[in-house]
Amino acid sequence: MSNIVDPLVARIAARVRTERERRHWTLARLADASGVSQAMISRIERGESSPTAVVLGKLSAAFQLGIASLLVPAEGAQDDGAAGAAGLHRQADAAEWRDPATGYRRRQIAGPRFPAEVAEIRLPPGARVPYPAAAFAFVRQVVWVLDGRLTFHDGDAVHELEEGDTIELGAPAPRVFVNTTDAECRYAVILARGTRP
């Protein structure tokens, strides 16, 4: 068995631990706030488990941060040296996170210093990724379908989004991203960063 830790899993581990400690929260308090078990949070913080998209959504909601914030280094942390003064990011250098439960893949497009979070998502055929309303409480977000078809549940409303369609998210609601087709769906998420707690 290899002891090599995926750099993105290590980054998520450090970020979750940093955000919890910054708030002076115990594992029990974060578990209570997020609905994620203490055991799972502990495994994530030790880099022993890659969280699913659902778990990331619950943790981000508890921290009142965008999901993408848990995939980038904390402010003041080393940014892997990937971006130069001009903010150039090569596709080959971009870290891509993969949800171990659904195969959903997320690649951050904008760096942590940019005033908006931009991510490219690849949703495999048949994948369904739900997020709690609290994950959207402190952000403004646009979803833009680049390829394929996305079935988007926004609370009780269901929208069928085709290539080129966009949807601006309103008041927080439980949301589900679903690919009911037999082809991958690729979409971009553009999220305006709010004031951090």
- The whole-angstrom separation of Cα 11 and Cα 19 is 12
Using DSSP bridges, classify how beta strands 116-123 and 185-192 pair: parallel, antiparallel or unpaired.
antiparallel
Q: Report the C-alpha dihedral over residues 23, 26, 31, 34, rounded to 10 degrees.
A: 0
Using DSSP bridges, classify how beta strands 96-98 and 157-161 pair: parallel, antiparallel or unpaired.
unpaired
- Across the range 171-196, mean pLDDT stands at 88
Residue 1: pLDDT band (50, 70, 90) is very low
Choice between 172 and 76, residue whose per-residue pLDDT is larger: 172
For the chain, what are the domain ranges? 7-71, 93-192
Choice between 177 and 4, residue whose per-residue pLDDT is larger: 177
**CATH top-level class of 93-192:** mainly beta
**For 57-96, b where at least 16 C-beta lie within 10 A, e where not — what string?**
bbbbbbbbbbbbbbbbebeeeeeeeebeeeeebeeeeeee
Residue 133 pLDDT > 80, yes or no?
yes
Superfamily of domain 7-71: lambda repressor-like DNA-binding domains (1.10.260.40)
Q: Report the C-alpha dihedral over residues 79, 80, 83, 84, rounded to 10 degrees.
A: 100
- The whole-angstrom separation of Cα 197 and Cα 193 is 12
How high is the mean pLDDT of the chain? 84
Residue 182: pLDDT band (50, 70, 90) is very high
Per-residue pLDDT tens digits for 21-76:
999 999 999 999 999 999 999 999 999 988 888 898 899 889 987 777 787 665 54
Tokens of 100: 């171990």
- pLDDT for res 97: 86
Which residue is associated with the tokens 């078809």?
149
- pLDDT for res 193: 63
- pLDDT for res 93: 66
- The whole-angstrom separation of Cα 192 and Cα 174 is 19
Residue 176: pLDDT band (50, 70, 90) is very high
**Percent of the chain whose predicted confidence (pLDDT) is above 90:** 49
**Percent of the chain whose predicted confidence (pLDDT) is above 70:** 83
- The whole-angstrom separation of Cα 149 and Cα 93 is 28
Choice between 22 and 5, residue whose per-residue pLDDT is larger: 22
- pLDDT for res 128: 96
